[in-house]
Amino acid sequence: MGRAKEEMMRYEESEHILEWVEDNYDESIEFEREGWDEAVEAYDKYCEEQYHIEEAIRAQEEYDYYIYMTLKDVDLKFDKELTELTSLLQQTNLSNGSTTFYKMVYAHAVTLLEVYHEEVSKTLIISNEQFLKNTLRNVKPFKETKYKLSELSLDKDNIKKFVLEKMADHLYHDIRKVVGFIEGIIGHKVVVNTDNISRVTANRHDIVHRNGKNKAGKELVIDEAVINDALGEVNSFVSELRSAITKI
């Protein structure tokens, strides 16, 4: 690659920086001329500030979402969306349904389950001060990580925002881990049968990541019976989990 072309590519890659510099810093500064490095440093600082502003807005929006959320709200949302998915399946001619459509329904059913797990966990944390304390004491990453005081605030709302942010890093399709999260949050054992639903989530993993084949390369059978079984298992597990939580 010629030197002139390399310089042109660098210029094109930095064009958005130059536009910001001209509009917000010093319009007299030219690309890679005197003062350019300082201008780029100012741009990087601006970007970092914008990132923190956006993160604060996102954290506030999530907090606002969960502060008024109840477990009943989470249940109703899940029931509505699972019912809609089931209705969509029934409206399709199952005898001639495509395997691709079945895979999409199967995968989305487990997605609804994952969202339910996340929303239940976060609603419990936000709704109850003891559950918040339990989470900090019992649930990863809080129980294994020391945080700087600069990361936390003595303000209770900011602590809740911090916890919500860290809980978003969890994956909610590993059923046994999810049960462990909830046990840590509520401080009690949660007795549920995870075998059948774990099989469903494992199949969903194969659908999403291997287009319906298992690790051995064998194609999974995804037909009407399998779909209906998966929907039933998702619904049954949510009911069983919710019943176990209600007993606390």
Which comes out higher in pLDDT, residue 14 or 111?
Answer: 111
User: What is the distance between the alpha carbons of residues 143 and 178, in angstroms, rounded to a whole number?
Assistant: 16
Both tokens assigned to 12 = 């094109």
Read off the pLDDT of residues 158-180 as tens digits, 9 standing for 90 and up: 888 888 988 888 878 889 999 99
Among residues of the chain, what percentage have pLDDT more than 70?
Answer: 88
Q: What is the pLDDT of residue 5?
A: 65
Q: What is the pLDDT of residue 134?
A: 92
What is the arithmetic mean of pLDDT over 170-198?
Answer: 92
User: What is the distance between the alpha carbons of residues 111 and 113, in angstroms, rounded to a whole number?
Assistant: 5
Among residues of the chain, what percentage have pLDDT more than 90?
Answer: 49
Read off the pLDDT of residues 116-160 as tens digits, 9 standing for 90 and up: 999 999 999 999 999 998 998 898 888 776 665 455 555 678 888
User: What is the distance between the alpha carbons of residues 72 and 93, in angstroms, rounded to a whole number?
Assistant: 34
For residue 171, which amino acid is it? L
Q: What is the pLDDT of residue 155?
A: 66
SS3 labels along the chain: CCHHHHHHHHHHHCHHHHHHHHHHCCCCCCCCCCCHHHHHHHHHHHHHHHHHHHHHHHHHHHHHHHHCCCHHHHHHHHHHHHHHHHHHHHHCCHHHCCHHHHHHHHHHHHHHHHHHHHHHHHHHHHHCHHHHHHHHHHCCCHHHCCCCCCCCCCCHHHHHHHHHHHHCCCCCCCHHHHHHHHHHHHCCCCCCCCHHHHHHHHHHHHHHHHCCECCCCCECCCCHHHHHHHHHHHHHHHHHHHHHHHCC
Q: How many Cα atoms sit within 13 Å of 115 on the Cβ side?
A: 15
Q: What are phi and psi of 168, to 5 degrees?
A: -65, -20
Q: What is the pLDDT of residue 91?
A: 84
Is-above-0.75 flag for pTM?
yes
Of 87-91, 125-129, 139-143, 187-191, where does mean pLDDT reach its minimum? 139-143
Beta bridge partners of 213: 219
Contact indicator for 135, 163 with CB cutoff of 8 Å: yes
**Domain boundaries of the chain, sorted by first residue:** 1-67, 70-246
Contact indicator for 18, 31 with CB cutoff of 8 Å: yes
Q: What is the pLDDT of residue 4?
A: 64
Both tokens assigned to 95 = 């005898």
C-alpha dist (Å) from residue 71 to 74, 116, 118, 125, 243: 5, 10, 12, 11, 11
Q: What is the pLDDT of residue 93?
A: 64
